[in-house]
Amino acid sequence: MDTPESPEAGTPNRRGFLNWLLGTSVGALFGSVLYPVARFLSPPEIPEASTRQVEAGAVNDPELLEKGFKILRFGNEPVILVRLGDEEFRAFAGTCTHLDCIVEFHKEPGRIWCNCHNGEYDLRGRVVAGPPPRPLEAFQVDLVAKGAGQPKTVVVSRA
């Protein structure tokens, strides 16, 4: 019989502890490797964006005045807002219909342009050059007065 003072007394407990430690370490290692792989193979469902309307800022937004366009977040999709005049704006889906690159606006010659493969759209969203197979989806743009003396707000909504 082992007594606490004998040299063999702690051996079974120490061995048991080492076995437990090794077992849990291997289990943790498998968990830390398998869980990310499983999440990668089966990603969680992302709910469809239910955005119907987005405020894009004031009509005198510095970015709009300088560049003539701005990319907005419309739920989880980009939208390009183009400023053509003080009270004239257009909005379209911000991804090219060819391979989904983000489009931009060139004031001269007044075209929405995709720099991936040189696709071009006119200011109605129609394809005028390059490989895009379809026009850009158009969005509705409204200017909403926020108060006396305040610049109007540009509101973009799904047409």
For the bound state, the minimum distance from the C-beta of residue 116 to ligand FES, rounded and expressed in Å, comes to 4
If one asks whether residue 116 binds ligand FES (CB under 6 A), the answer comes out as yes
For the bound state, the minimum distance from the C-beta of residue 135 to ligand FES, rounded and expressed in Å, comes to 13
**Three-state helix/strand/coil letters over the chain:** CCCCCCCCCCHHHHHHHHHHHHHHHHHHHHHHHHHHHHHHHCCCCCCCCCCCEEEEEECCCHHHHHHCEEEEEECCEEEEEEEEECCEEEEEECECCCCCCECEEECCCCEEEECCCCEEECCCCCEEECCCCCCCCEEEEEEECCCCCCCCEEEEEEC
Q: Which two tokens stand for residue 47?
A: 């709910």
Among 75, 130, 135, 151, binds ligand FES (CB under 6 A): 130
If one asks whether residue 14 binds ligand FES (CB under 6 A), the answer comes out as no
**Residue 64 · residue 57 · CB < 8 Å:** yes
Among 101, 128, 138, 143, binds ligand FES (CB under 6 A): 101
Among candidate residues 78, 58, 51, the one with its CA nearest the CA of residue 136? 78
For the bound state, the minimum distance from the C-beta of residue 118 to ligand FES, rounded and expressed in Å, comes to 6
If one asks whether residue 94 binds ligand FES (CB under 6 A), the answer comes out as no
Site size for ligand FES, by CB under 6 A?
11
Per-residue interface string for the shown chain with ligand FES, residues 21-60, x marking contact by CB under 6 A: ----------------------------------------
If one asks whether residue 96 binds ligand FES (CB under 6 A), the answer comes out as yes
For the bound state, the minimum distance from the C-beta of residue 156 to ligand FES, rounded and expressed in Å, comes to 21
Judged by the rule CB under 6 A, the positions of this chain that interact with ligand FES are: 96, 98-99, 101, 114, 116-117, 119, 130-132
